[in-house]
Structure formats: C-alpha cells, structure tokens
Structure 1
Amino acid sequence: MNQTIKISLLFILLLSVSLAFGKDTKNQTDNVWKNLLKNHANCVTWISATVRIEISASGQSFPPQEQKLEALGTIIAEDGLTVLSLNKVDPTNTILSRIRRPGASVQVHYTEVLILMQDGTEVPARMLLKDVDLDLAFVLPIKEEEDLTEKVAFFPAPGFKKSKSPRKSPEILDGVVSLSKLGRNLYRQSMLRRGWVNAVITKPRKYFVIDNTSPGTPVFDSAGNWLGVVVYKMEAGKPSAIVTLPVEDILEIADQVRSRNQ
C-alpha cells in the first residue's frame, strides 16, 4: 500500500513539473510574439496600386478600365523595398476567369503605386519586378526632388540582414505567427495571426504550408525567427493554394531585383 502511494505521489509530482514546464514555454513563446507585434509591426504595410487594364478577345478590344487595388506587403530593406503577392495587385487571372474566351488577352499597366505608412503618409513607389511563377511583386519608393524617402523611416522585417544561407526549417505542427494589418474599415490596426505548420514541401521548390495566413505577410517561428512570406502557389499560371516562400529565397530574388535596376 505504501509503495502504491509513493508511486502515485511520484507520478503526480512529475505531471505537475511537466505541466509547469509546458506553461512556462507557452508564456515565453507568447512574449516573443507580443514583442514582435510591439517592435516590428510596421514591417508590414498596405500597398495601393492603381492599374489601367486593357482587354482584347476574339479580335475585339474593349475600352480601357482603371482599377484601384490594395494589398499587404512586407518591407525587406531599409530603403523601403517591399515584397507582396502579385495576384493581389494584378487582376489578370480574375479577369480571364470571367471572360472565358480562347485567345483573350489582358494587359495591366501601373499608373500609380503608393506605400501607405501607418501615420497616413503615402509614399510614391514603382513596380520593380513581377514574378508570375512565384507570385511575387517588388516595389521600391521613388526618390523625388524633395527626397521624401529620407523623411520617411522604413522598418524592415527583423532578420533581413542575416545570411541568405539556409536556416533551420520548421517542422510539422510547429506553432508560428504572421504579422498583418487589418483593413481600412478597422483603421489598418496591426495584428498577429497564430497558425501552425501543416506540411513542409522540399521539391521541386521549398514551401511551408501554414494555416491562418494572408498573402504578402511575414511568418515567424516560436523564437521570433523570420521564416518567409506568404504567397500563392501557382499552377498553370493560376493561384492554387496559399503557401509560405522561405525568406532565403525572398532575399536572393531581392538581390537580383536590385542588380537589374542599378
């Protein structure tokens, strides 16, 4: 009887220690994520794009249309270079799905691109690159005579200066968060979206499949390490799923963008 009581007490003690450790770990992770929101919320910004759309189908050209779009983007450099989901600022796929005519053509021209800062400042920018295969668009502030970009402070995602060599990959069921912002109707308030890793795809290209994310936003692990940016997985030129493209790929492409535009 005494032996049974001792075993029971030992089990209860071990269980208590385990629960306490789990609670401490959760609290530590929550604090890391709250600090991300507090210190780095403005690495996510809204992008406004005004586009001129020209459509032709079956030998017929339609009158040009103008459309204003908004999308979330992640600032990845101190000069304001921002990456976002191309599909959010390029309505080509949406229009083609409605036309459904063989040989239809859609041309999208960007007449105005603005980076919408949290304080209400609108920074003129230009489209540097559109990568249809990876669903990426890169925009950069325009340096005007008044040099507005010197007056505006940009806050890149934490970890943007780290090496572009492969980082520790998340594992299935790992908890993560993405930094995001609410829409204009909710005053563009910064927010966290908690999710978890459902799958890690390694071939032919590495992607993370993560729940509860929004295209254009950065994703971080439990230690606050930047994992990547959310985009659409493209299939036959059309968005087929929401995935996270690793940060090392994002930064490598960003370097290529800069080298082409110098």
Structure 2
Amino acid sequence: MKKLLLFTLALFLGVSFQALGKKPEILWRKLLKENANCVTWVSVTVKLEISAGGRSLPPQEQKLEALGTIIAEDGLTVLSLNKVDPTANILSRIRTPGASVNVNYTEVMLLMQDGTEVPAKLLLKDVDLDLAYVLPIKERKDEYKEVIFSKVPSQAKQKVDPLILDEVVSIGKLRQTLYRQSTLQRGWVNAVIQKPRKYFVIENTSPGTPVFDQRGKWLGVVVYKMVGGRPSEIVTLPASDVLEIAQQVRTRTQ
C-alpha cells in the first residue's frame, strides 16, 4: 500500500512538473499569435558622403533593412541605430585620422506584413544607446489608411528585473526570402548589469527585437552596447528606458 501511494505521488508530481514546464511555451505561442506584428521590418535609403585624408569621395546611396519594435498605436518604432546607420562600419574600414561620414536619410518605410509600405521619418538617432526612432508621416496617411499598428504588449506594472538563468523569448521576423514569417527565439539571461546603465545580457537575440519574460511581459529591446562609438556586445535595454526616451522624443518634436 505504501509503495502504491509513493508511486501515485511520484506520478502526480511528474505530471505537475511536466505541466509547469509546458506552461511558458503555451503562453509564448499565444504571445506570438496575438502580437507577432509588433515587430516590423524597416527599410531606409541613405545617401552617404565620406571624407578621408582631405578628400571627399563621390556620394553613395545604400538601401538597408532592419527589424524594429512598434511601441505606440501611432506606429512609433524603435530599432538598433547600427542596423540603419553604416557610419561605425565605414569608419572601422577607413582607419584614417579625421575621416568623417555624413548620413542623409532620403526614404524611410515601415514594411507591414500585408505588403503595405508606410512612409515614415527618422525622429532621433542616439549613438550612445544605439537607438533610432521612426514615426509614420501623418501627412501621407492616405498611403496607409487601412493599416492598424500592433504595438508591443505593455511591460509589467511592477518593474522586476529578470534573474540570471531566467528563460525569455524575443519576437522576430525572417527576411523577405522566407516571406517575413514571424519567429520566436528562446534565450536565457546570462547577466544583469546595474551600473553605469542597466542592461540585460541575453543570449540568442537579434538587434531591434523585443524580449519577453515567462509571463509574456515586455522586458526591453535588443541593441548593441556601444564602446568608443562602435558596437561591441549585444544587450537588451530595459523597456522603461526605451519608453522614457520615446517620451522625450515626442516632447521635442511637438
């Protein structure tokens, strides 16, 4: 009888732990189903003017694409600046003292999942935090009047930092060659940096994408840690910082 009770208890605990193990996966799949389009591809066309060694090179034009996270209902989107600004990459190759790169954005588009291209403008470039904010152009609303922007789910009301080894996920999208299919990437928190600025070091993430905890709450956006004006490690900037800077951007542009 005692053995039967022990077997029953072990079986119950095994089923319980198995259910608990599946719970975040079920929640995350639901998160993706309901919020996949809070991530969008952003296309930019840039005109580059490069000066080095006292000479100016002929202007060049580049078209770049990067993933961004929609953080407001009006389509305000945040992304990794390094993905849409080749300055750091160009300067690392020139290696000439006094070299400079001037980047002019001639076209910015949000590439929606249904194929609609939403004209936008660059509001802010923050080199130190590797952030770029873009906003759809209201005056050209007739070009995207059917679009409803799906903003990232809200962060937790009580701001609790993730713990080392916590499992998290980030929402992303594949490139056009794979039909911009939405993805979930599972990762783990390797470190929490508190000073001089808070960052979460999370593996298996892509710049510009949002990261969520096991409850499906938004933790932050993936960017590069900048050192000497150049990208180094991939980190996650907390959601509260992303939103605070967004508010400052709106205040300045009103």
Deviation at 1:19, TM superposition (A): 2.7
Residues in 1 aligned to 2:10 and 2:189: alpha-carbon distance in whole angstroms: 27
> Could you tell me which residue of structure 2 aligns to residue 124 of structure 1?
119
> Could you tell me which residue of structure 1 aligns to residue 18 of structure 2?
23
SS of 2:139's partner is coil
Residues in 1 aligned to 2:90 and 2:61: alpha-carbon distance in whole angstroms: 13
Deviation at 1:176, TM superposition (A): 0.5
Equivalent residues of 1:71, 1:88 under 8 A apart: yes
> Could you tell me which residue of structure 2 aligns to residue 114 of structure 1?
109
| Equivalent residue letter for 1:112 | E
Equivalence map 1:162-181=2 (5 Å): 167-181=159-173
Deviation at 1:17, TM superposition (A): 3.7
Aligned length: 254
| Equivalent residue letter for 1:104 | A
User: Which residue of 220, 223, 237 corresponds with 2:229?
Assistant: 237
User: Which residue of 69, 78, 98 corresponds with 2:64?
Assistant: 69
RMSD between aligned residues: 1.7
| Equivalent residue letter for 1:69 | L
Deviation at 1:58, TM superposition (A): 1.0
User: Which residue of 207, 214, 217 corresponds with 1:215?
Assistant: 207
Residues in 1 aligned to 2:65 and 2:26: alpha-carbon distance in whole angstroms: 31
Task: Go from structure 1 to structure 2 and tell me whether the alpha carbon gap of 1:142 and 1:21 turns closer, same or farther (over 3 Å shift).
Answer: same
SS of 1:144's partner is helix
TM-score when scaled to structure 2? 0.95
Task: Go from structure 1 to structure 2 and tell me whether the alpha carbon gap of 1:10 and 1:240 turns closer, same or farther (over 3 Å shift).
Answer: farther
> Could you tell me which residue of structure 2 aligns to residue 60 of structure 1?
55
Deviation at 1:9, TM superposition (A): 6.4
Equivalent residues of 1:227, 1:247 under 8 A apart: yes
TM-score when scaled to structure 1? 0.92
User: Which residue of 169, 181, 184 corresponds with 2:176?
Assistant: 184
Deviation at 1:143, TM superposition (A): 1.4
User: Which residue of 197, 200, 204 corresponds with 2:192?
Assistant: 200
Q: Which runs of 4+ in 1 moved over 4 A?
A: 8-15
Residues in 1 aligned to 2:121 and 2:79: alpha-carbon distance in whole angstroms: 13
Equivalent residues of 1:141, 1:149 under 8 A apart: no
Mark the runs of 5 or more structure 2 residues left unpaired by the alignment.
none
Deviation at 1:15, TM superposition (A): 4.2
Residues in 2 aligned to 1:145 and 1:92: alpha-carbon distance in whole angstroms: 29
Deviation string 1:212-244 (CA, Å, 9 cap, x unpaired) is 000000000111000000000011111110000
Mark the runs of 5 or more structure 1 residues left unpaired by the alignment.
none
Equivalent residues of 2:117, 2:144 under 8 A apart: no
